[in-house]
Amino acid sequence: MVKVYLWSGLRSLTDGKEAVDIEASNIREVLDGLQNAYPELKAPIAAGVSVAVDGKIISSDLTTSVSEESEIYLMQKLRGG
Amino acid sequence: MNNIHVRTKVNGDEVDFLCDPRETLLDCLRDKLHLTGSKEGCGTGDCGACSVVLEGRLVCACLVLGVEVEGQTVDTVEGIAQGQDLHPLQEKFIKYAALQCGICTPGILMATKNLLERNPNPTETEVRYWLAGNLCRCTGYDKIIRAIMDTAADMREAG
Amino acid sequence: MALDNAKSNGFKFVGTRPDRPDGVDKVTGRAKFGADMTAPGMLHGAILRSPHAHARINKIDTSAAEAMKGVKAVVTRKDFATDVHFESGLNGETWNVLENVMAGEKVLYDGHALAAVAATSALIARDAIKLVRVDYDLLDHVTDVDKAMEKDAPVIREGAADKSVPDGFHPNVVRYHESGHGDVDEGFSKADLVIEDSFKTEATHQGYIEPHACLGSLGNDGKGDLWCTTQGHWYAQKMCAALLNLETSQLRVTASEIGGGFGGKTTVFIEPVALALSRKANKPVKIVMSRSEVFRSTGPTSSTSMDVKIGMKKDGTITAASGVFRLQGGAFPGAPAEFTAMCAFAPYALENVRQIGYDVMANRPKQAAYRAPGSPMAAFAVESVIDDLCKALGLDPIEVRLKNASHKGTKASFGPRFEDIGLIETLEAAKAHDHYSTPLKDGQGRGISCGFWFNHGGETAVSLALSEDGTAQISVGTPDIGGSRASMALMAAEELGIPYEHIRCTIADTATLGYNEISHGSRVTYASGLATIKAAKDVVHKLCKRAAQKWDIPEDAVKWEDGCAVPSGANAGDFDPLPLHKITANMGATGGPIVGHFEATPEGAGVSFATHIVDAEVDHATGKTKIVRYTVVQDAGKAIHPTYVEGQYQGGAAQGIGWALNEEYIYGDDGRLQNAGFLDYRIPLASDLPMIDTVIVEVANPGHPYGVRGVGETSICPPLAAIANAVSAAAGIRMKQLPMSPPRIVAALKSLKDG
């Protein structure tokens, strides 16, 4: 299981939880797992998210691997200027 | 359509075109003569991207009507380089990276060339105020001013 | 990206300052920008725009316009895709863009497009749109962010809010962000001083000097070509295809030279309209915006209203920080409230921090990205409060920032831990800079501020082809806004070992490369640079293979050095170095053309920090501010072409000066924009500014082979705050609203005098 931290604004979609345990070995499984556990997360994930793994902000690559030791944060996807 | 036949001299060449009386000199340069080096940034004389020299005087081509240049001489950015040789200002603008996107560059070059012809030894403040009618959004003007001051010094030395 | 082939010193080309490859084109007028293209048989388009801030469209009668001599086509919303559907929040972004490009049932802001005409001349097109008759029902409007959130505010679009928004908010509040960690109440209780204050900033425009322009050609076979000024032509391709029901690959988009973007050219406005007109008229159609159209109808940044609270101990330690950031993003979801919130406290290592962002709709144009979207405003509010705390506690502003500065391993205010970052290095360099120790003159004030931006990678494709004479051509997919061709050529020269001048860098069209994300997020030198390096490495690998074949030794017995294949060791054999041009001379006979590729989505852009120092002078009689000295210190990771890095620093600072002192969207009570021109919307002039000093700090980004971090956006994060701190010091009163224009300063000084 990996622990995924969500931004607090998502609490209303996850029964108040800010951190969710998911069975996952890469980012694709993290995102799939989150949506399976909390279907309400489908919309914010579809709107665009990045995943920070040990401080590195991954904006697209679903194959990036994660492990139990990883620090994983769900973040909103960057829109730059 | 009441187009008017206009004969003029642009960058030393005699040219003529037909234009609607409402069309600006900038429209005519760009659309009739295909001299697209002069740019339209505002159409209201605020940005200076269309700066050209009309009868020796620096003007915004967007504030002059095409029909007004009948019998007059117009100089544009396309006429700054002499054959293969760039003008020293053009060389220094490249050297100093005095342009980022380059849209304001033709106007700033025209304005500056005209300044140095009037005043070969301007102060930084004089350059800054002379260019107050030429907007640049990319550079903060720093490298533009440095390029101009250095060119002026070189040109004075070269006599 | 891996560290395996990282290079941090021993550069031959990188770090030098050669002339840019497109320099001559751009000083002679030869460079072709958006409006400089023509096509045989071309028509000119013009767009009818709403004069009302908010109105229902009952009927659009185009018959008189269509009947006008020279008019070849008129389009309205019905000429665009009908299968693009509305969804809440950002999930409906394609519909949002369509609705913004051409209004449907309602016009939502002054300047909203609702019909367009193509005619045989620009003058006829302009006359013809005046003949389009529109029957409107006027609706109440709102343009201020705080008012748009009030209970009785007019509703712009029911159902636009996504599920992130807590119950009880007005329907104009469409997205909500909250993040942070620790217990801020407990943190505040430990502080010796807590300051809480509110701030406002007005919307500003990116102010690129080149108006939007395009030339579109689309046949009834669904095949089209589009030439346009854009930061992202693949995005334009994808969006135009979606909005016009085309197959994406059947539309080829070529990016013109771009006369500035700063985020504002990351979307489409006129491009789908030109194509729709072209399809109907069966001729190429050119549309060029006027400056007033640019101001009224393209995206400015968000206006904001912000509350910030920070607690500090006497020794300068920040015990807690919280902020609420309300961003008005026009009549659509998308104001970057989450980035304002996430950037706000990012420079500081905080145990207790909480930030909330609201994305709020109002009757204004759809906001577009502007250089580090959302971050500069946050810094303005946060760094103003820190400045007040420093003053009240008698502490040095740089020492306090150093004491609290984020560093590698810090848990960021937005969640994860930082990798290698250079904030402390920028603060140390600022502290050591002559500017910081130079005494101020009477009437002057000094301000400092830190700033933060994320930076971005994104889909990137580059190909690098060698020519027989041993020169190279790079095709990149990111428009060159500020000299990036030079940086690409430098990085390719570094890898190939051939002179910089032997490399030509071209911005390829959408048919030539795979998808390239927009030139945004300060990604070009990072991502296209990384891709260029990787494509060059691919070429080098192929060159070594040809040498190995020639020498009849194994591939891994050849290495690349200084532009030549050489045996990798004594055992590999004794061969003279084989220069690149000798391999390419007969490449057709040794295996064919040599081309290197890289296609991927680089992850590892590396966040970036800056510290700015500003001295300002305020004329107490007129309220006019003069910036007398300005120093930018910023971490570039590794400066590929230092002159263009300096240029980004200076440009960001100059735009920040405009935002802080003069620039603002001014709306009348009628909801109409009152200053849609450069005379009344005053961007900095040469005569307004001093020289802008720069210090390039280099703390390598582990995510790039040479350590590059993007530099384009972070430079605009600190200026609003640094200038506000300087002006507040010079004026003797805290300025809490931007811009600090002369009337606002005079009013503030009067309020001070009146007590």
How buried is B159 (Cβ within 10 angstroms: 0-12 exposed, 13-18 middle, 19+ buried)?
exposed
Q: Inspect the interface and report whether the beta carbons of B144 and C27 lie closer than 8 Å.
A: no
Amino acid in the structure at residue C305: S
Give the pairing of strands C43-49 and C285-288.
Answer: parallel
Reported as a single tens digit per residue, the pLDDT across C568-588 is 988 888 999 999 999 999 999
Closest CA to C731 of C622, C612, C613: C622
Q: Inspect the interface and report whether the beta carbons of C417 and A12 lie closer than 8 Å.
A: no
What phi and psi values does residue C369 have, to the nearest 5 degrees?
A: -60, 145
Q: What is the mean pLDDT of residues C445-463?
A: 96
Give the DSSP H or E segment for C244.
helix C233-244
CB pairs under 8 A between A and C: 121
Reported as a single tens digit per residue, the pLDDT across C243-284 is 999 999 999 999 999 999 999 999 999 999 999 999 999 999
Residue C9 in this model has a pLDDT that exceeds 80: no
Looking at chain B, the whole-number percentage of residues with pLDDT higher than 90 is 98
Reported as a single tens digit per residue, the pLDDT across A36-50 is 999 999 999 998 899
Q: What is the mean pLDDT of residues C8-23?
A: 93
- Chain C residues with beta carbon closer than 8 angstroms to that of B27: 122
C3 confidence band (pLDDT: 50, 70, 90)? very low
- Chain C residues with beta carbon closer than 8 angstroms to that of A64: 603
For residues C447 and C614, what is the distance between their CA atoms, to the nearest angstrom? Answer: 5
Closest CA to C256 of C462, C475, C35: C35
Looking at the complex, does the CB of residue B92 fall below 8 Å from at least one CB of chain C?
no
What's the sign of the alpha-carbon dihedral C397, C398, C401, C402?
negative
Q: What is the mean pLDDT of residues B137-155?
A: 98
Residues 110-139 (C) with a CB less than 8 A from some CB of B: 121-123
Nearest CA to CA, how far is B132 from chain C (Å)?
5
Looking at chain A, the whole-number percentage of residues with pLDDT higher than 70 is 100
Residues 495-514 (C) with a CB less than 8 A from some CB of B: none
Q: Quick one: how far is CA C190 from the chain centroid? A: 39
Q: Inspect the interface and report whether the beta carbons of C651 and B138 lie closer than 8 Å.
A: yes
Looking at the complex, does the CB of residue C703 fall below 8 Å from at least one CB of chain A?
yes
Tokens of C207: 């102010």
Beta bridge partners of B157: none
Q: Quick one: how far is CA C541 from the chain centroid? A: 35
Provide the 8-state DSSP code for A78. Answer: P
Are C704 and C638 contacting, i.e. CB atoms less than 8 angstroms apart?
yes
Residue C551 in this model has a pLDDT that exceeds 50: yes
The shortest CB-CB distance from A47 to any of C91, C266, C336 is to C91
Q: Inspect the interface and report whether the beta carbons of A8 and C459 lie closer than 8 Å.
A: no
Q: Crossing angle of helices C337-344/C375-393, nearest 10°?
A: 30
Tokens of C753: 């005098």
Amino acid in the structure at residue B57: R
Residues 2-21 (B) with a CB less than 8 A from some CB of C: 20
Mutate to test the interface with A, among C338, C366, C519, C525 (most CBs of A within 10 A): C338
Chains with 3+ CB–CB pairs under 8 A to B are C
Q: Inspect the interface and report whether the beta carbons of C417 and A71 lie closer than 8 Å.
A: yes
Residue C287 in this model has a pLDDT that exceeds 90: yes
In chain B, domain spans: 4-78, 88-158
Nearest CA to CA, how far is C90 from chain A (Å)?
5
C6 confidence band (pLDDT: 50, 70, 90)? low
Give the DSSP H or E segment for C692.
strand C692-697
Reported as a single tens digit per residue, the pLDDT across A20-34 is 999 999 999 999 999
Residue C1 in this model has a pLDDT that exceeds 80: no
Architecture of domain B88-158 in this structure: Orthogonal Bundle (1.10)
Q: Pick the residue from chain C with its C-alpha nearest to A45.
A: C91
Beta bridge partners of C323: C308, C355
CATH class held by domain A2-76: alpha beta
In chain A, domain spans: 2-76
Are C203 and C303 contacting, i.e. CB atoms less than 8 angstroms apart?
yes
Q: What is the mean pLDDT of residues C327-335?
A: 97
Beta bridge partners of C251: C224
Residue C488 in this model has a pLDDT that exceeds 90: yes
Reported as a single tens digit per residue, the pLDDT across C638-647 is 999 999 999 9
Q: Pick the residue from chain C with its C-alpha nearest to A42.
A: C91
C261: how many CB neighbours lie within 10 A of its CB? 29
For residues B144 and B42, what is the distance between their CA atoms, to the nearest angstrom? Answer: 21
Least confident of A71-75, C342-346, C715-719: A71-75
What phi and psi values does residue B7 have, to the nearest 5 degrees?
A: -110, 130
A79 confidence band (pLDDT: 50, 70, 90)? confident
Residue C448 in this model has a pLDDT that exceeds 70: yes
- Chain C residues with beta carbon closer than 8 angstroms to that of B81: 28
- Chain C residues with beta carbon closer than 8 angstroms to that of A58: 603
Question: Residue C310 to residues C199, C344, C492, C566: CA-CA distances in angstroms?
Answer: 14, 12, 47, 61
Q: Inspect the interface and report whether the beta carbons of C27 and B44 lie closer than 8 Å.
A: no
Closest CA to C605 of C541, C524, C487: C524
Model pLDDT, residue C569: 84
CATH class held by domain B4-78: alpha beta
Nearest CA to CA, how far is C266 from chain A (Å)?
7
Q: Inspect the interface and report whether the beta carbons of A81 and C369 lie closer than 8 Å.
A: yes
Closest CA to C418 of C607, C151, C569: C607
Amino acid in the structure at residue C130: K
ipTM of the complex: 0.98
Length of chain A: 81
Reported as a single tens digit per residue, the pLDDT across C593-642 is 999 999 999 999 999 999 999 999 999 999 999 999 999 999 999 999 99
Q: Which domains does chain C have, with CATH numbers?
A: 23-31+457-600 (3.30.365.10), 374-455+606-754 (3.30.365.10)
Tokens of C452: 């933060």
Are B72 and B10 contacting, i.e. CB atoms less than 8 angstroms apart?
no
Query: What is the SS3 string spanning C547-590?
Result: HHHHHCCCHHHEEEECCEEEECCHHHCCCCCEEHHHHHHCHHHC
Residues 666-685 (C) with a CB less than 8 A from some CB of B: 677-679, 683-685
For residues B118 and B123, what is the distance between their CA atoms, to the nearest angstrom? Answer: 13
Model pLDDT, residue A77: 87
Reported as a single tens digit per residue, the pLDDT across C646-697 is 999 999 999 999 999 999 999 999 999 999 999 999 999 999 999 999 999 9
Tokens of C463: 């190909």
Model pLDDT, residue C54: 98
Across the beta sheet with C460-466, what order do the strands follow?
A: C503-507, C472-476, C460-466, C595-600
Nearest CA to CA, how far is B10 from chain C (Å)?
15
Reported as a single tens digit per residue, the pLDDT across C80-114 is 999 999 999 999 999 999 999 999 999 999 999 99
Chains A and B, touching by 3 or more CB pairs within 8 angstroms: no
Q: Pick the residue from chain C with its C-alpha nearest to B129.
A: C687
Q: Inspect the interface and report whether the beta carbons of C259 and B129 lie closer than 8 Å.
A: no
For residues C186 and C78, what is the distance between their CA atoms, to the nearest angstrom? Answer: 58
Residue by residue, DSSP assigns B12-79 as TEEEEEEE-TT-BHHHIIIIIS--TTS--S-SSSSS-TTEEEETTEEEEGGGSBGGGGTT-EEE-GGG
Chains A and C, touching by 3 or more CB pairs within 8 angstroms: yes
Across the beta sheet with C564-567, what order do the strands follow?
A: C558-561, C564-567, C578-579
- Chain A residues with beta carbon closer than 8 angstroms to that of C459: 60
Model pLDDT, residue A78: 82
